């Protein structure tokens, strides 16, 4: 027969266990809700009129004149639209927009204004600064990769958007949401990233995130794509790349560590938010490949699966 003290201890243990269970359920509920919201937003970004699913072309410019339009005599052919839209003249490190012989089409805009002859800004691996050229459902801009220039072509009514069949995901697993130790690099180091199109570019690495999975310690290095944004960019690959995830890599974006980039702190790595790179959806992107240290010898069976059946 239990004494009053023994009964009190057992009751206390039951209550503590109950409260812990309630707390864990609440945490898991919030985790599931936040992850579902992120997945919805990620899908919506892909389906934007100028999202990655709209990308239908990547045409490398040749020195001299590169004509653009739907007619067969253009060097860069559009699948529809005016016969002749523009002429892109590449000389050295300058791309100049010129009109075709019949003039620019009436509804051809550059950065929202009627087209006129002008140099087009294109900085290495800084595609956001390039002025957008739009006509009908097309959105085009010049990108630069090392010494090469290309015209990137997007279509808000691309087959990938009109035929979108949804993304594929692993089941959520809160065990793959880990708190990493942030190890700052002072000063920041620089690494050279290779891309799928055979180019290379340098990016700053502000530190490393060290974490444990299944009792084993691992370390990943992010790059800082845009110093103006409080966002870290991890390019990584794990052993699921040979079976269920995109073969080249997956991406993970996070906020900054708890004490900023330059002080030791903590950083949440939620691998449930691993996403496919643009090259998983379209052959016309120029994705970076993971640096050697970010190629994990373990599976991460969470996040986004392959979009296509084969890579």
- Backbone conformation region of residue 152, classed left if phi is above 0, alpha if psi is from -120 to 50, else beta: beta
Question: Other C-beta atoms within 10 Å of 11: how many?
Answer: 10
Tokens of 193: 């990233």
Residues 6 or more apart whose Cβ sits within 8 Å of residue 122: 95, 130, 142, 143, 144, 149
Q: Closest by alpha carbon to 242, among 305, 168, 303, 190? A: 305
- Quick one: pLDDT at residue 227? 86
Output the pLDDT for position 25.
Answer: 46
Q: What is the DSSP string of 218-261?
A: EEE--B-S-TTSS-EEEEEB-GGGGTTS-SS-EEEEE---TT-T
- Whole-number pLDDT of residue 205: 98
pLDDT of residue 24: 44
Contact 145, 200 (CB under 8 A): no
Ordered mean pLDDT values, 10 residues apiece, the chain (311 residues): 59 48 58 97 97 97 98 97 98 98 97 98 93 98 95 97 96 97 96 93 97 95 93 98 97 97 98 97 94 97 89 41
Tell me what pLDDT residue 308 has: 86
Q: Are strands 76-77 and 64-69 parallel, antiparallel or unpaired?
A: parallel
All domains of the chain, ordered by start, with CATH? Answer: 52-162 (2.60.200.20), 167-294 (no CATH)
């Amino acid at each position: 027969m239990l004494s009053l003290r023994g009964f009190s201890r057992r009751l206390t243990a039951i209550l503590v266990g109950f409260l812990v269970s309630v707390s864990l359920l609440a945490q898991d509920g919030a985790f599931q809700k936040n992850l579902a919201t992120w997945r919805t937003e990620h899908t919506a970004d892909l389906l934007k009129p100028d999202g990655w699913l709209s990308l239908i072309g990547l045409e490398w410019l040749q020195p001299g004149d590169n004509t653009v339009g739907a007619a067969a005599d253009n060097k860069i052919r559009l699948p529809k639209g005016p016969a002749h839209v523009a002429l892109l003249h590449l000389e050295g490190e300058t791309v100049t927009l010129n009109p075709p012989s019949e003039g620019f089409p009436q509804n051809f805009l550059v950065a929202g204004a009627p087209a006129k002859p002008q140099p087009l800004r294109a900085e290495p691996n800084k595609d956001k600064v390039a002025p957008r050229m739009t006509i009908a459902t097309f959105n085009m801009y010049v990108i630069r990769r090392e010494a090469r220039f290309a015209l990137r072509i997007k279509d808000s009514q691309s087959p990938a958007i009109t035929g979108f069949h949804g993304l594929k995901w692993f089941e959520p697993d809160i065990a793959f949401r880990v708190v990493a130790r942030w190890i700052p690099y002072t000063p920041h180091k620089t690494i050279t990233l290779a891309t799928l199109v055979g180019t290379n570019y340098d990016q700053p690495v502000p530190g490393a995130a060290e974490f444990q999975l299944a009792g084993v310690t691992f370390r990943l290095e992010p790059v800082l794509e845009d110093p103006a944004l409080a966002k870290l960019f991890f390019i990584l690959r794990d052993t699921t790349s040979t079976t269920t995830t995109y073969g080249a890599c997956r991406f993970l974006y996070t906020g900054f560590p708890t004490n900023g980039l330059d002080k030791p702190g903590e950083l949440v790595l939620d691998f449930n938010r691993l996403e496919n790179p643009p090259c998983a959806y379209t052959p016309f992107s120029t994705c970076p490949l993971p640096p050697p240290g970010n190629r994990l010898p373990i599976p991460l069976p969470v996040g986004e699966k392959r979009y296509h059946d084969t890579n």
